[in-house]
Amino acid sequence: MADRVYIFDTTLRDGEQSPGISLGVREKLEIAEQLQRLGVDIIEAGFPAASPGDFDAVRRIAGRIKDSVVCALARAMPDDIDRAWEAISDAARPRIHTFISTSDIHLEYQLKKSREEVLRMAGEAVARARGYCPDVEFSPMDATRSDPEYLYRVLEAAIEQGAGVLNIPDTVGYAIPAEFAELIGGIFDNVKGIEDVIVSVHCHNDLGLAVANSLAALEQGARQVECTVNGLGERAGNASLEEIVMTIKVRKDRLALDTGINSQEISRTSRLVSLLTGYPVQPNKAIVGRNAFAHESGIHQNGVLKERTTYEIMNVSDVGLVESDIVLGKHSGRHAFSEQLERLGFYLEEEELNRAFGRFKELADKKSSLSGGDIEAIALEYLRTEGQEWKLAGYEVHSGGKEAPPSATISLEREDERVTERAIGDGMVDAACKAIRTALDIDAKLISFTVEAITGGLDALGDVTIQLDVKGRRVVGRGVSTDIVEASARAYLNAINKIIR
């Protein structure tokens, strides 16, 4: 029987700290529910003390999720821990995760505290959290650059005060696999009481070694991995959930480990997170990239046609990469639309379904038929724009010519207010975005602009991703339409709304 590895997903906390990501409560709820369907053991829902918005999102996720543990992050400070418990107290399975730095460089320059002060704070934080909740996790931040002997003392203090999970973070992605394995082995050999707790790891990917380090730790006895969907996270990101899970699944012969993940939900989860965060998945990304199972070489193609395992170590169906065969059109009814959404993993309330169906009808009038990918894009666009302050009410563009430059007239509305603005630009997309910026009086600098076709054909839906910088803060917006100008305007407005929110 393989040993059980617990998957701790921090997409909604560490993943959201990626530059430009700003998820609304509805978007976070949708991701949390998909993580539960995926079979994630622990969902780190956020950092309640960070902002009222984070607190509200964690509280609502805690009230909705029943199968997975819902975890709230807190610094080793009384107010943070109190706020974390307030946010997750209604959860079916709550956990408080508290942390403090233990490396000398962090103690000297960031915390400005002595080792003894931090040791005391760590113990007090765990004790306070344990007073609220039987499930407490403790992390010594920057563990891989900490003095091992001091690290052992801090971990022992956390165990003495009731921590059930000790998480060892490679906070700056500094370790290499052999070194990280040695650190985990040293913890098992030297920390009193370590046999009574779960050892976890949280590895960052600054050197591209997050997954390798996590696997090295598992071979030393760690049994929880903290990771994110698509490897999102601070700087270069975190260990990728899908890579960890599929390595354990494919190499069970070597690792003799198992997880509770339903791997057939991996692809759907990846797409959902990508589309809601605005972070595209690179084509050659392991497991979930669109080229992950593609074969260009004639030798490879010939081998796969004769016997799949010659060049494929896993089935596309293992990660849920199976296209839906249902195609809907303008004559399709609300029931067929709802059924297709549910097949794709979207469960909208009655009023939400009505609004999403209205958007489907708009696009169905422009495109003869909509595939599963198109329907998914409509649902995700609705989730991205639901609850936004300003909505696109109408637009008119002119391509220009010798006598006049390209121009756009954009109408926006919110509740009973409507504004219309006209602008000229280098092209129709530029003019449309300028009109929105002028109408809402927001100075935004364009950082990046990308367009992708969701499906094939000249009438394919265009998926536009825009990243803006507004007074030093980066936000990402996405929009979908058969018309690239409209998709661009929707993406631009989606990003601006995040700033307003």
HEC-encoded secondary structure of 175-205: CCHHHHHHHHHHHHHHCCCHHHCEEEEEEEC
pLDDT score for 384: 63
Instruction: Tell me the C-alpha distance between 410 and 10, whole Å.
Output: 39
Looking at the predicted structure, is the pLDDT value of residue 192 above 60?
A: yes
Asked if residue 306 has pLDDT above 90, the reply is no
pLDDT band at 461 (very low <50, low <70, confident <90, very high): confident
Nearest partner of 210 among 38, 19, 28, 10, judged by Cα:
10
Q: Can you tell me which residue has the tokens 């280098």?
A: 426
The Cα–Cα gap between 397 and 413 comes to: 18
Taking residues 111-137, report their average pLDDT. Answer: 98
Average pLDDT of span 360-366: 83
pLDDT reported for residue 376 = 77
**pLDDT for the residue 62:** 98
Q: Is pLDDT above 80 for 378? A: no
Task: Name the average pLDDT for the chain.
Answer: 90
Q: What is the model's pLDDT at position 85? A: 98
Identify the band that residue 308 occupies on the pLDDT scale cut at 50, 70 and 90: low
Query: What is the per-residue pLDDT for 305?
Result: 55
Higher pLDDT, 185 or 375: 185
The residue ranking higher by pLDDT, 432 or 293, is 432
3-state secondary structure 339-392: HHHHHCCCCCCHHHHHHHHHHHHHHHHHCCCECHHHHHHHHHHHHHHCCCCCEE
More confident residue, 21 or 214: 214
- Structure confidence at residue 473 as a pLDDT band (50, 70, 90): confident
65 Cβ contact list (under 8 Å, min separation 6): 32, 33, 36, 43, 91, 92
pLDDT above 50 (res 304): no
For residues 173 and 195, what is the distance between their CA atoms, to the nearest angstrom? 27
Closest CA to 218 of 246, 278, 177: 177
**Is the pLDDT confidence value at 48 over 80?**
yes
Q: What CA–CA distance (Å, rounded) separates 289 from 296?
A: 15
Give the per-residue pLDDT at 386: 64
Residue 375 reports pLDDT greater than 50: yes
Share of the chain above pLDDT 70, in %: 92
pLDDT score of 385: 65
What is the per-residue pLDDT for 444?
Answer: 92
Q: What is the DSSP string of 414-479?
A: ETTEEEEEEEE-SSHHHHHHHHHHHHHT---EEEEEEEEESSSSTTPPEEEEEEEEETTEEEEEEE
Q: What is the mean pLDDT of residues 114-138?
A: 98
Nearest in space to 137 (alpha carbons), one of 110, 165, 103: 165
State yes or no: pLDDT of 115 exceeds 60: yes
Give the confidence band of 331 by pLDDT, cuts at 50, 70, 90.
confident
Instruction: Determine the pLDDT at residue 430.
Output: 94
With a cut of 50, say whether residue 297 has pLDDT above it: no
- The tens digit of pLDDT for each residue in 435-458 reads 999 999 999 999 999 898 876 666
Residue 303, pLDDT above cutoff 60: no
Residue 299 has pLDDT above 60, yes or no: no
Q: Mean pLDDT throughout 355-366?
A: 84
Token digits for 146? Answer: 């900490």
**How far is residue 31 from each of residues 78, 110, 154, 237, 273, measured CA to CA in Å?**
29, 33, 34, 18, 7
Please give the residue that has the higher pLDDT: either 460 or 55: 55
pLDDT digits (tens, 9 = 90+) for 25-47: 888 999 999 999 999 999 999 99
- pLDDT of the residue at 38: 97
- According to the 3-state scheme, what is the secondary structure of 276-328? HHCCCCCCCCCCCCCCCCCCCCHHHHHHHHHCHHHCCCCCHHHHCCCCCCCCE
- pLDDT at residue 1 is higher than 60: no
Tokens of 446: 């364009």
Reported as a pLDDT band with limits 50, 70 and 90, residue 353 is confident
Task: Find the length of the chain.
Answer: 501
Distance, CA of 459 to CA of 368 (rounded, Å) = 8
